[in-house]
Amino acid sequence: MTAVFHDPIQTARRVARRGLRRLLCAARVAATVGVVASASCSRPSRAPANPPDAGGEAVPAAPGAPATTPPAGGESSSGGTAPGASAEEPTATITLIDPGRSPRRRLRYAWRTQQKEQLTLELRTALSETVGDAGMSEVVLPPVHIVIAIEPQSVSADGELLSYAWRVTSASSSSAAGAPAQIAEGMRLEVAAVEHMAGTGIVDGQGLSRKVSADPAAPSDAGATGATGQMVEQVRQTLRDMAAPLPAEEVGQGARWRKLSQLAAKDTRITQTDAFTLLALQGNSGTLDDVLAQTAPPQVLRAPGAPEGAEARMESMLASGDAKTHFRLSRLVPQMKFEGTTVMVLSGAAVPVATRHMTVTLRVEIALSGSTP
């Protein structure tokens, strides 16, 4: 499954940097895809906020993956980091819990260089906040639609590794009823930043990403448009985690396995667990249920350039959701639908003294679909 959540700690870090007033503007754009339209949320009469972290940080979910989210690539079922994975990619382990009913067999993707594919990603998100006893109505954010063309380049001699080229062919954000104009404009800028992205990737026979890179000759427009580049990271996450991960052992219908990921981005830490159940298996096709959970220990969120003692603190973070994934062993991109919720409790200098804590709740729906052009 793809990365399915935004980077929740990235949203929280914006609290440390901008304070509550700016969060209420920026976080509406940050929800789920980790996007913050700081330029659109700025007030002209004030000095500009500190610039966002270069490139930002992202949590793989899906798409895998959503995000966000949200499951991470670059992992091995034997418990270590997959050979050739980049240092930036999170590590994970896959553990078989129940092999399922007989007959059982070893599931592996059968890569073909002539199998071009198209990945379509739909993101729908909503955000609500509570400060003390005062809650704000949920705000529905503009939905995002991204299409990526995937063209296989080569398959290793043993058939294990697929090298492919990818290219964003379209990216758009439609209007959401009731969304303020500055939020719609901020999301438009973030989506525009990925319109010309392209690059390459490598994935193994278990569906685990070994490498995803962006082509420097086809840069995003994030810097030129004033976007933060968080949507750029979302695209990378989706590519890393788009294939359904498979265990090394032989399995049959009803099999269950767990994927444990320790996600780290700079000074933040998140643990993600995916509990997979093989609901159906017929020929080279199958259906997976994925119950996802993300947790993070209490941690200080240090904002670059903030004075001593101005840090915010994330007291707790819990994300949960469920996905249904239909995969084919002859294709890289599955059909997946995910629904999930992230709840964060924040405290510190960015939260009003009288309230001490602020709770941010994000809801996300992600649809990932693969097709052949």
* In the chain, domain spans: 8-371
| Comparison of pLDDT for 6 and 348, the residue scoring more | 348
Q: How far is CA 355 from the centre of its chain?
A: 31
On the question of pLDDT at 201 being above 80, the answer is: yes
pLDDT band at 206 (very low <50, low <70, confident <90, very high): very high
On the question of pLDDT at 204 being above 90, the answer is: yes
| Comparison of pLDDT for 78 and 252, the residue scoring more | 252
| Comparison of pLDDT for 302 and 151, the residue scoring more | 151
φ, ψ (nearest 5 deg) of residue 268? -110, 155
The mean pLDDT of 40-60, rounded to a whole number, is 34
Q: What is the pLDDT of residue 236?
A: 86
Q: What is the pLDDT of residue 241?
A: 85
Q: Which of 366, 267, 361 is nearest to 316 (CA)?
A: 361
The mean pLDDT of 297-323, rounded to a whole number, is 76
Spatial separation of the C-alpha atoms in residues 175 and 177, rounded to whole Å: 7
Spatial separation of the C-alpha atoms in residues 123 and 338, rounded to whole Å: 10
Structure tokens at 155: 């398959």
Decide if 75 contacts 223 (C-beta within 8 A).
no
Decide if 69 contacts 3 (C-beta within 8 A).
yes
pLDDT band at 156 (very low <50, low <70, confident <90, very high): very high
Return mean pLDDT, the chain: 74
On the question of pLDDT at 150 being above 90, the answer is: yes
Percent of the chain with pLDDT over 90: 39
φ, ψ (nearest 5 deg) of residue 223? -65, -35
The mean pLDDT of 344-351, rounded to a whole number, is 72
Spatial separation of the C-alpha atoms in residues 212 and 198, rounded to whole Å: 10
Q: How far is CA 49 from the centre of its chain?
A: 26
pLDDT band at 93 (very low <50, low <70, confident <90, very high): confident
On the question of pLDDT at 44 being above 80, the answer is: no
Spatial separation of the C-alpha atoms in residues 68 and 180, rounded to whole Å: 24
